[in-house]
Structure formats: C-alpha cells, structure tokens
Amino acid sequence: MSKKYPIISVVGSSGAGTSTVKATFDQIFRREGVKAVSIEGDAFHRFNRADMKAELERRYAAGDATFSHFSFEANALEDLERVFREYGETGAGRTRHYVHDAKEAEKYGVEPGHFTDWAPFEENTDLLFYEGLHGCVSTEGINIAAHADLKIGVVPVINLEWIQKIHRDRAQRGYTTEAVTDVILRRMHAYVHCIVPQFSQTDINFQRVPVVDTSNPFITRWIPTPDESLIVIRFRNPRGIDFPYLTSMIHGSWMSRANSIVIPGNKQDLAMQLILTPLIERLVREGRRARA
C-alpha cells in the first residue's frame, strides 16, 4: 500500500452491479474534487475473443472443462499486479480497453472482441480506481490485494447471480437457458477457487440478497428488483464505523451483527455515499500531504 498514491479496488461482476457502483464512485470523486484514473479488469484478459474461444476448445479437447474468464490463467494477473505496484510507488502506469460491442468499437476504433493499444495513465492523479474480477487476488505467486488501500466487494447471493447471468445472456447474446447453464457450470470451479476467496480480503462487502423466491433460478421469469432485495454490508474491521449514525441516516436499516448492517436494496447508493466518502477523503488527503 502507498500513502502517496492510494489504490481503490472493487471486486465483482457486472451482474453484481459494479457499473452502478462505479457511477457512485465517480459521483464522489467529482463532488470531492478527486482526480482519479480508472482501469477495468477486462483490460487484463490474456486473450482476445477469438483466441479465448480457441483456448477454450483446446482445453476442452484436452479434458479441462473448467477453464473460463474467471480462471487465473485467463488473465494477465502479473501485469495487473505490476500496474498496482508501479502506481503505488510512482503514480504512473498503463492500461487499455477491451472492446465488447459495436458501440464501444465506434468509440475506440477497434473491432469488438479486441483490445485497444496500451496507453499511459494521465499524470498528477490522486488515486487509482480498479473494478473487475481479480482486484483482490492473493496467491503464492500473485498478491494484488496487498497493493490496494481500500478493497470493496460487490456480490449478489449465488442464485441471484445466476438469474442475472441467464437473463442478460438470453437478452443480449441470444443464448438459450441451456447454453447459459453450461457456461455457469464451466465457470463454477474457477468461481469457487478464484473469485470467492477474494471476498475474504476485502475491507467492506456489499451483498445483495433477494427477498423473493429464487430457489430455482433457471425458471425465474424476472430479475428481483432493488425494492425486492436487501443489502448486507459487512465491515472487515468495524472499529471507527459509526453504526448508530448509519442506521439513523438510512431508513429501514438495522445491525445484524457487530460488524454488519442490513439496508433496503434501493438504498445502496446512499449507503455507499455515506460510508465511502470519508474513507476516500482521508486517502486523498493523506496522499496529497505525502506528495507535498
């Protein structure tokens, strides 16, 4: 971790609502006058779309049915750790974009399924903001989590994650439920061994829990809405967290454990603003003081 150039790492899939979370962070940065550089986990995929398909086929033919984008081997984690380390030490680094669709292709001038060229970070930034699937990896050879100053997990309960995946892939990619189920099964090994352990490294977790029946996610007709959900917020170290203040400011919230608060699902943005703003303000203040 670096006092001079702090790093915020948000771990979670797009189905977990990280796009909404990034909008919340952007709002905090704008309001507090924070100059942040943002990087995406997709930028550190090891393969473009065609090469990933070929690698999946090669591994499947060799008897490996567990390889997916979740897998450590599918991502250039050594490059991601290097970027975290370099930014923490010098405030410099580089990133690129993975182009998902035609809209992004028009923006970046690169065909869908490919990467843009690497580009250096903008200079004189206050912090680095990461969002993706591997921002808190800690293994024998890679320790990305050690370089992050504030680690946030955003994750729905597993059945809700599956429901979101099924509906998204059927609507946006034209997949059948059976095809999406095959993808879920293939990813399960890496999800358990590569993704889930990271949520033990995070400082704060936001877990969405539906309060409607999701016992069979493969036949559920609608994705539970925020109004049909609760958010469980768990603090790794609750020392210094003003729980009475939070429960008074967030209507309908309560403490479920000494380190956890439960809020209505439609109050996540408010909760993040209240919880994260003072933490970000402190990181930036200490960073600017160290760089002075």
pLDDT of amino acid 168 = 87
Q: 13 and 133 in contact (C-beta within 8 Å)?
A: yes
What one-character DSSP code corresponds to residue 200? G
CA distance 159 to 214: 6
Contact in structure between 238 and 217 (CB atoms under 8 Å)? no
Quote the pLDDT of residue 175: 87
Q: Please, which residues bridge with residue 156 across strands? A: 208
Domain 7-291, second-level architecture:
3-Layer(aba) Sandwich (3.40)
At residue 280, φ and ψ (nearest 5 deg) are: -65, -45
Question: In the chain, what is the straight-line distance between the N-terminal and C-terminal CA atoms, in Å?
Answer: 18
Q: Biggest alpha carbon distance in the chain?
A: 58
Q: How far apart are CA 139 and CA 3, in angstroms?
A: 24
Spatial contact of 19 and 154, defined as CB atoms under 8 Å apart: no
pLDDT tens, residue order, the chain (292 aa):
568 999 999 998 655 555 689 999 999 999 999 999 999 999 999 999 999 999 999 999 999 999 999 999 999 999 999 999 999 999 999 999 999 999 999 999 999 999 999 999 999 999 999 999 999 999 989 999 999 999 999 999 999 999 999 998 888 888 888 999 998 999 999 999 999 999 999 999 999 999 999 999 999 989 999 999 999 999 999 999 999 999 999 999 999 999 999 999 999 999 999 999 999 999 999 999 999 8
Contact 254, 244 (CB under 8 A): no
Output the pLDDT for position 1: 59
Parse the chain into domains and list their residue ranges: 7-291
Which residues, in sequence order, are CB contacts of 239 under 8 Å at separation 6+? Answer: none
- The pTM of this model reads 0.94
Asked whether the beta carbons of 232 and 249 are under 8 A apart, the reply is: no
